[in-house]
Structure formats: C-alpha cells, structure tokens
Amino acid sequence: MRIFQAALALVATATLPLLASCEVFDLADLHWNLRNQNGSISIPASIPSQAHIDLLKAGIITEPLLGINDFTQRWIINDNWTYTADLTPLLSKTSGQRAQTLLVFYGIDTIATITVAGHPLAWVNNQFQQYSFDVTDMLASPSQGDRNLTVALESAWFYGLNVTSRPDVEWTHGDIFEYPSVRQVIRKTQSDFGWDWGPAFIPSGIFKPAFAITLPTTANPTTAAPASHPLLVSQNSHIFIEESGLEISKVGQTPIARPNESADWVVNITLSVRSSVAVHSPTLSIAIPDLKLTLAPVRVTSIPADTSTSTFVSAVFKIPDGTPERWFPHNLGTPKLYNITTTLHIDNEHSIGFVTQTGFRTITLVQSPVPQSDIVGRGITPGDQWHFEINGKAFYSSGTNIIPFDPFYARMTSDQVRWVLESAVLSGQNMLRIWGGGIYQPSDELTGGYDFYTACDELGILAWSELIFSDSLYPINDFLLESVEPEVRQNVRRINKHPSNVQWAGGNEIEGIVISINQTQANGTHYLDEFNTLFGEFLHDIVSEETHSVAYTDCSTTSGVLSLDPYVIRYANKTPGFIYGNSERYNYDASQAFNYSTYPVSRFVNEFGFHSQPSFFSWEEVLESPEDFSFNSTVVMSRDHHPPAGGLAFPNPNAPQGQAQMSEAVELWLPTPSTTDSNQTFAQWCWSTQIFQSMNMVSEIAWYRRGAGLGENNLGSLVWQLNDIWQGTSWSSIEYSGRWKVLQYGMTQIYSPVMIYPFWTADNETLEVMVTSDRWESVEGSAQLTWYDWHGKELQSSKHAFVTPTLNNSVISTTSGLENILPKSQSAESVWMLLNLTAQVEGKTVTNEAVFTPTSLANATLVDPQIKVTRSKDMSFTLSARGGVAAWTWIDHPAGTVGYFVDKKTNIPANGFFLVPGIDRTVVFKQNAALSRVKSPNVDDFVVRSLWNNTHV
C-alpha cells in the first residue's frame, strides 16, 4: 500500500458534516454505482461485490458460469471498473460532536486507487490485506464539493502485463493455465487466472465487507455488555480494534517440538487498536463463564490518541491444565469450545469487551527422525517422521483438499460453505487442506462475508492452512516482500484463535519445481536461493513470530527438513531407502489405477486424485442447446481444462487429452455407455467417470491407511479435491451445486473408523483381505466374506474374528492363485465378493462393507437387475433387485435439490452399492432445505440407475 501525501487544499465549500460518535456504519448501506473505463456502462451496484456480479444483476451479462461465458466475457477482464458511492447519507448522521472517522476495508480485489471527497487516499495492491484509513481531515475539507467515495479498480491482467514488462522485474518459472505469466507479481487468488479445474474470470471489486468507524474525541465513561465481535466494540467506545489475536498454547511451547501436555495453558491476547482518546494505564483481563473463571487484569502498553496508526497491546494469562476440556476433531472426541470474554479496561469507570469462541488443544506436526527404538521394535522404515498429533496423541488424518468455492467470492454464503464442511464430516473426514492457490478462508460473516474457520471449529474438522503461493517460482524484490509481510501477519494472527488450524504451509507444490530446476538448468542455484530466501527464511520467520501453537512448512508437498532450529529444508538431500516428508500421486494411465507398486510409500499423502465429469443435473445448469449434451461436445470439452491450455486459446486445445483419460478409464474398467437414448448415454458416461474416480481413490485411500501398520507408518491421506468452483471436469467429490458425486459416498465407507478392504495384486494373483483401524484403542469384531454370482446366488461364505491394534491392521485372509480364490467351477467374469465388517468402537456398533471383483466390470457377465423402487412420501426409497445383482446401484435426487442419502438401518450415507436379490436396501433422502430451490421434491422425480443402464435403456 502507498498512502498519497497530498496536501488538503482549502476550498470555498461547506465542510462535510462529521459522523455521529461511536458508530460502526456498514458501507453496504450507501448507494453504489459501477462504471467502466469509458463510461459506456454505468449501473447501480452494491458491496461486497465484484464487477461480474453487478453486471449480472443489471442485465448487462448473463450468468458467467453459463455455456462458454468464461470466453465471451473476457472483455470484462480487459476493462477498468470504478465503484462510487455518495457519502451524503452516511455523513448526515451527525450528533454535532467532533469525531475521528476511519474507513475500513476487509478486502479489495485487487489493484485500486481509493479517493475520498475528491482527495486521493491510497493505492492498494493486495487482495489478502485488511486496510484501515483515517479520513477525518479529508471529510472536513472536500475538494471541489466532491462528496463521493471512489474505488477505481485497474484490470489485474493489464496491471500484471505492465509490471512484468519492467526491466527490473525478474521472469520466473511457473505453470501457465490460461492468462499467462502475471499471477506471480500480483497478490491475488492465483486460480483467478485459470487452473486445470476451473475458469479464469480475474474478478475485481470490493469483495469483502467495508465500514466507516467514528470515534468520539472525548472519553465516554459508560461500559457496555461485551460485543459479539471486536469490530462492534466501536459502537460504544472511542477505540477501534483493528485486529484481535487470541492464541492458546502450553507454557514453553514452540511450533517445532512436542509440548509438555501437563503444563499450564497459556492464553495470549494481542490487540491492534486505534483510539481517539489517550489511554494512559490500560489493562487487559479475560473471563470464561462456562468455567466460572475470571483472570486478574494485566497492565499493557499505553494507547496514544492517534487514529492514523495502530498500537499493539498484549497480555498473557495462564490456566491450569485440567481446568478446561480439550478440543478434539469429531471422530476422536468432542470439539469442545468456550466463549472467552476479553476486556480492555480504560480506567476505573470505563471498559470495553468482546467475546471470542475458541478451544483448548495442542496440535503438533512431528518431523523429527524416526527413533531407533521404533526402527527396531516396530519395523518403521528409517528417515523422518511426518504426521500430526492432537493433544499428545498421533492420529490418522483423513480428508480432502478444498479450492475456492466460487469464481466470485462475494456471492458465497455461510450456508453453502457449511454444507460442504458438513458433507466432509458425514463422510468420515477429519482434515481439510486449504489449497495455497486460492484464498485465506474467513473467520466470520461480519468481516469475511461468510464463515469458514468457525464452522470448522464447531464441526470438529481440522484445517491445514497455506499461504497463497502456488505452482510457480516467485520473484524476490522489495515490492513483493513489502506487500506480503502485512498480508501474512494479519492472516496468521486472525486464524490463531481457531483450534481447527493445524499448520501453515508456505505454498503449494513449489518445492518440487525448484528442485527440478536446480537439477536441470545451468542457473538453477539462483532460483533455489530465491526459493530458500522466500520460503525458508522470510515467510518462515514471519509465521514463527506470529504463532507458537502450529508448525510452518515451506511447501504443501515437501521433502521435509534437515533441521528445524535453524530451519533448513532438506530438498534432495536424501539417504536411499529412507522416507522423508510427504508426497502426492497423479497417474492418468487408467491401466495403472489399481497397481499398488505405482502408489507412493509415504508417511503422509496430501494430494492424489483422478478427474471426472459432473452429473447430468449439473450440466443442465449450464448447457444451453440439446446438441451440447454429449460427452465430447464443444461446450463440454471447453470446460475440461486438463491439461490446461497454457494460454488464451479457446476452446482448450488440450482438452482431448483429459477427455481421453476419462474415456479410457471407463472403457477399461466398466461397461462402455451406449444406448439408443442420447441423453441417457451422456448421463451414464458422466456417472461412469465418477464411478471410476471413486474406485481409484478408494483403492488409494485403503492402501495409504494400510500403511499405518507398515514400515512407512502412513498417518495421512488427503484426496484431491472436495469441492467444485463451477460445473465442469474436475477432481471433486462434491459438485458446484452441493450434489454429492460417487466418490463422496465412497469415502464414507473407506474413511470409516474401522474398514475392510480386499487388496488384489493381479500380477501374482494374490488377494489379501485386511481390516484397518484408526482408533486409539484395540478393536474387536467379525468379518464376513460372501461370494455371489451375478444372478445373486450365494456361492460360499466365511466368517472371521479379528482384533486390530491401535492405528494398525489385521489380516483376515491371504490367498494366491485364482483357482484357490474363486468359488469352485466359477470364472472371474461370473462372480464377485461382498465383504462385511461389524465391530465395537467406544460402545457403539460400526459396520463397513466393500466389494471385490476379480476382473474388470467391463468383462463381467452382468444380468438385468430389474430394480423395483418403492417410494414413500417421507422421501425413503426401498430398492429391490428382482433379476440379477445391480452393480453400483445409484439413486439421484431431482434438479434443484441438495442433500444426501442414508441407509435406513445404519444411518450411514449410502449410495452406489451392489444390490443383491433378496437383500433389499432402504435409503432416505436427507434434504438441505436452505440450499434447495425445490423445497418439496416429488418422489417420482428421483432417478435410479445401475451399471446395467450403461448399455440398456
């Protein structure tokens, strides 16, 4: 940010009236206008918003996600857009008392010049920063009668071109998705410029809430009840809390070592404040009503009467270890939260306070060498550890990665986001990785537009946080570093209070890029040095200064460290045969999808995925012509950005590769969709890509979970990816509308606390059936293995008791040779196995199931299942196979509805199962009414399909 230091000229106009004291005025209540560069477009607007959204509301454009609008609306990216509001309604709120006035922007996207009452106020260039400005003098002396607030936004694309054309700006290596080679120099959501799962709209606007804050210049001796948010303190005070930080840790805790779990808790309160009245002897205190706990005030730094800059005040409080209950992720305990009231005592008569919701927990990223005792006693492969511990206990991290929820942040709602998070919990996930090419997710609606981290806290799901750098090297210059430092400090301080946060990674997939460049290019060491300066020193030091409770790693996928103190990245310095850091896997050769030798043997796999198409219902939202409803239609292929175009060519010239990868996968492992009904064929193609995606990901998850009990001691698997940013080809398990894909249901089975899985190695015809548990206690149960033919006849069955140790496996059976595996006189094409498990976990019965097909379903001798559906008004559906086995039985809820299906007996999400004649399944649709356009769907509109419908109408 650069503040313009222009002298305020005295003009012969009436002074603008000052705002009433003690007020928090939402700038959304002003009347806004949006205008393009040449004035040919001038329309009513709103904030928080972005230009595309206001153009849509005004009828200038159609829905940006419709058809090929990501191409036809590129003209919006090439223009400059100005938001203007008349300040008169705001300024008429006057009490006749002088006051200091601040403008506070919680997010501007991205390159903007701000003008107040005709006076240049600031030029800003960082989407991720919060900006606060004292505008008192500008309002008191308007220039030439100007009563407007103006935010003039420059095209981020053209700005990037200008910056990168400068001779003093270094070109850097980076993946190009659509708009090329500029995102590295702009502190903006990196995927706004295009990615392999989404569009490039490069939006601009005042995309987060903004406020005018007025503070009286005389002290107000009253004391109000604690505010629900620090911002609202200014409704009753001469103090504005610009930032509020609350971090809970243990005495002596650092991010690089296991804390003393029996030590006292430390509650560190840090406030960034601006005051219009000097406070000479302030104190801070905290109270936790649920614990009947009030801690004595602590003297803090005096606060000057200065609203032009902030003053930090900080205090530390100690709480005995056993006093609060601990926060746990939902699958390991209770996500216990407390309301902490922070009070800033101004004097004996005046205090201000606010409430923060938080939890007590320790989270440790263990990166130390594997102890010799574990190498000898447990058979752990030498190298470094890489896993998380919650409250002193190692656990298995089960989850996915999230990307931005919409190309236009300003239109997202807490309901939409919470649905995605609740869906993760329902499928057994306990961790989400917030991808480093998107945005710092918000903490609350008031300042962030929607809520993310607080929902994670409440739902008991862990959040792996990342700084916004992705898939590129970044040039090192003072211009970049000056912008990045406050960005990182603000966001780390804000997120500290959330017990769900587990770590900060410096960025996404960059370490591997720089290692490759260092090994292959003559000047590779130059780029390695720059990477180390930015991610190994600069960002590491900032994060380490701002948090004591969570670790920093240089990159999402990393080789780990040679040393944590001092921080030294390992890079390629590895001992052969040892295991270091974490890993990822992407293999688009579908013939290798179930080849375990291609899976990484790793401590933690933080990305792995395969792409699929959204459902027919999602395509109906965006396709405009009947001829578009085809797997390889121009519009459908234009929304496949894998591999990316690598530039502005449209439609994506590389899309045929991605389409072919999905097609080949379906043709290799499933019956090839082909019917006399073109829409059904298209629907079956889309659905079949989802089936393969689920089969592939479930196989990998099972393999990685199995590794918890093997030498790699794998304690984490995070699928790429959870959510969608639009209706198109992607790696997601949940579609843009919130509809669950097949994979989302697949994860409910494979991320079960105790799961059973058939590990089939085709090369040597070996079948190993294994039970895996992620519980902290031993688990007892029984497994049943039942062979069926495709007519549904039971051929043979066996039962097996098991006891599975903590975070370990139990082998149920191991058999080699198809002649020993298959039921007598049966072929691989004619039979399949159903695997069931029942176990007791913490006093509750846990069930799990899996299937094994000894050959590809493309070769299986499927039989018409003749599915009968009995529909009830309570949206329960009983499915019966009257013919043969219905492989991958699937029920779709109608367009305009959001929800999921649960098995009526187990209450576990269920869909995409094998329906056996004589064993009916009843599922119930659990609707999210808040997100559903159709509130009362007709049960006759629910559609049932199976693999039989790939080739039969």
Mode of pairing for the β-strands spanning 210-216 and 462-466:
unpaired
Q: Which residues contact 889 (CB under 8 A, 6 or more apart)?
A: 865, 867, 879, 881, 912, 913, 914, 915, 921, 944, 945, 946
213 by Cβ neighbours in 10 Å (0-12 / 13-18 / 19+) ranks as buried
Q: Are strands 886-892 and 913-915 parallel, antiparallel or unpaired?
A: antiparallel
What is the Cα–Cα distance from 816 to 535, expressed in whole angstroms? 49
Single-letter code of the amino acid located at 285? S
Q: Which pairs with CB-CB distance under 8 Å and at least 24 residues apart come from 659-663?
A: 659/631, 659/632, 659/729, 661/588, 661/590, 661/611, 662/611, 662/612, 662/613, 662/689, 662/692, 662/729, 663/631
Dihedral angle sign, alpha carbons of residues 37, 40, 45, 51: negative
- Exposure class string for 506-536: b at 16+ Cβ within 10 A, else e: bbbbbbbbbbebbeeeeebeebbebbbebbb
Residues with Cβ within 8 Å of residue 496, at least 6 apart in sequence: 245, 246, 247, 546, 547, 549
Catalytic residue, candidates 242, 509, 584, 735: 509
* Catalytic-residue membership of 509: yes
List the beta strands (DSSP E) in 320-359: 338-345, 351-358
Q: What is the amino acid identity at position 849?
A: E
Which residue from 169, 61, 762, 111 is spatially nearest to 476, judged by alpha carbons?
A: 169
Query: Sign of dihedral through CA atoms 700, 705, 708, 709?
Result: negative
378 vs 540: CA distance, rounded Å: 34
Alpha helices in 362-509 (DSSP H): 372-377, 414-426, 445-448, 453-459, 478-495
Q: Using alpha carbons, select from 369, 335, 346, 207 the residue that is nearest to residue 279.
A: 346
In this structure, are residues 172 and 480 in contact, taking their beta carbons and an 8 Å threshold? no
171 burial via Cβ count (<10 Å: 0-12, 13-18, 19+): exposed
| Alpha carbon distance 439, 69 (integer Å) | 23
Q: Which residues pair with 831 in a beta bridge?
A: 789
Q: What letter does residue 497 receive in the DSSP assignment?
A: T
Q: How many helices (H) and strands (E) does the chain have?
A: 20, 45
Q: What is the dihedral of CA 509, 512, 515, 518, to 10 degrees?
A: -70
Chain position carrying tokens 């505010």:
227
Residues 550 and 249: their CA atoms lie apart, in Å, by 9
- Reported residue count of the chain is 953
End-to-end CA gap in the chain: 62
**Does 48 sit behind a cis peptide bond, omega within 30 degrees of 0 on the bond before it?**
yes
H-type helices in 675-741, by residue range? 678-706
Q: Are strands 397-402 and 716-719 parallel, antiparallel or unpaired?
A: parallel
Can you tell me the distance from the alpha carbon of 427 to that of 412, in angstroms, rounded to the nearest whole number? 23
The CA distance from 40 to 865, in Å, is: 62
3-state secondary structure of 923: strand
Residues with a catalytic annotation lie at 509
